[in-house]
Amino acid sequence: MGSPPSPTLPPSRGKGVSRRAALLSAFAVAACGRDARSQQSIPARGPEPPLKSLAPFPVGCAVQSDQLADPAYAALFTRHFSQLTPEWEMKMEYILRPDGTFRFDASDRLAAFAKTHNIRLFGHALIWYAQGPAAFERLEGEAFANAYRNYILAVAGRYRGQAVGWDVVNEAVTEDGSALRDCLWGRKLGEFDYIRLAFQYAREADPAAPLFLNDYGLDYNPAKRATFLKLAERLLKAGAPLGGLGTQSHLHADLAPGAYARAIRDLASLGLPIHISELDISLNVRGLNFASRADLEQRQARLYGEAAEAFAALPERQRFAFTVWGLRDSDSWLRREKTPNAGADGPLLFDSAGAAKSTFWAVADAVRS
Ligand code: XIL
């Protein structure tokens, strides 16, 4: 029945080829066995091995609750990932209504899905400079400070016992890396104290979950990385329960080879667990208009491999999780940007139809224990 199998191999990539070939042939053997028994044809493109069973550490993905209603999405996500980060619905912007009441409908749905499927839930994000909602803007003094504490207690407390960690403060360092950001929280509570207090309250809400400082640009900007690490040290010195460092890792395909691995080693120098927390690699690279799409895709897969390898090389106790910021290219936040070519970007591990891309294979090669 049907035509003979013709597995479509992803484009080859240096040292990955032999490992990939081994993975594929293992699958082919299993598929042949099934074929012999059932006399059914083997799909032209067999399911790739589950990333979560290849990696000796948690592999995460950002998810929005409505995406899980799509059975194809849910199947692909649960097949490959062992950890879920709410992409949006656990942020203050969603949870805190203008009148100061909370809505947990979507974050509860995500938490329930994670529980049902035995997937770790990672909390993101309690305090973020980008979000200073209306409910806070009209508060002053003690009322503001109380509402701040109450918010953190309510949100982190709700998922206590389930959340395996929290991004407590997101993006505390300025874009250029020279200082701490000026934001509503800092203006009302003190530019360092709002961060310290957030950690203290999150610990009060959840005595066990590791608490993270999370930021972006730590890979591109060594000055920002240094300021971020100084902030981490200052928090530890002040007795704040900082339990890990999150590096978002929103990269572009032209990042110089070696730069990302260097950043990971540097971030790991404090000995804290590391979370690659929002990895994606954009193909929209400015100033490289001469590069063909194929060339960019090759650089992108290489960089995905470098990121996974750098993470896998960390001591086991420092490998908190390796998380990508979206499942299929069509799910990426970068596709929703209002910039030219945003719609054509392909920053993730699976294409819009859910097929594994060369980026997937680069990660699969690198994470195999
Ligand atoms: C983004 C989400 O992907 C979008 O869907 C949302 O509208 C805005 O936030 N840094 C972060 C993430 O820490 O929370 C951001 O996620 C991407 C940048």
Interval 120-140: pLDDT, tens: 999 999 999 998 789 999 999
Give the pLDDT mean for 39-49.
Answer: 54
Tell me the two tokens of residue 55: 């990696």
Read off the pTM.
Answer: 0.89
Q: Does an H or E element contain 250, and which?
A: strand 250-252
Give yes or no: 137 in active site.
Answer: no
Query: Do residues 133 and 92 make contact, with C-beta atoms less than 8 angstroms apart?
Result: yes
Task: Check pLDDT > 60 for residue 208.
Answer: yes
pLDDT-derived band at 289, boundaries 50, 70, 90:
low
At 37 the pLDDT is: 31
Please tell me the distance between residue 277's alpha carbon and the centre of ligand 1 in angstroms.
11
- Mutation choice for ligand 1 from 107, 325, 327, 338, CB with most ligand atoms inside 8 A: 325
Tell me the two tokens of residue 203: 């610990």
User: 9-23, 52-66, 217-231, 310-324 — which is least confidently predicted?
Assistant: 9-23
Catalytic entry in 278, 297, 345, 365? 278
Residue 258: count other Cβ atoms within 10 Å of its Cβ: 10
Give the pLDDT mean for 281-299.
Answer: 86
Give yes or no: 278 in active site.
Answer: yes
Report how far residue 365's alpha carbon sits from residue 220's, in angstroms, rounded to the nearest whole number.
Answer: 25
Task: Check pLDDT > 70 for residue 32.
Answer: no
In this predicted model, which residue has the larger pLDDT, 41 or 272? Answer: 272
Q: Residue with structure tokens 């912007």?
A: 93
Please tell me the distance between residue 227's alpha carbon and the centre of ligand 1 in angstroms.
22
Report how far residue 196's alpha carbon sits from residue 223's, in angstroms, rounded to the nearest whole number.
Answer: 22
At 291 the pLDDT is: 77
Tell me the two tokens of residue 125: 């994000």
What atom of ligand 1 comes closest to residue 326's alpha carbon? 3
Q: What angle do CA 178, 182, 187 make, to 5 degrees?
A: 140
Catalytic entry in 87, 89, 167, 171? 171
CA 133 to mean position of chain CA atoms? 24
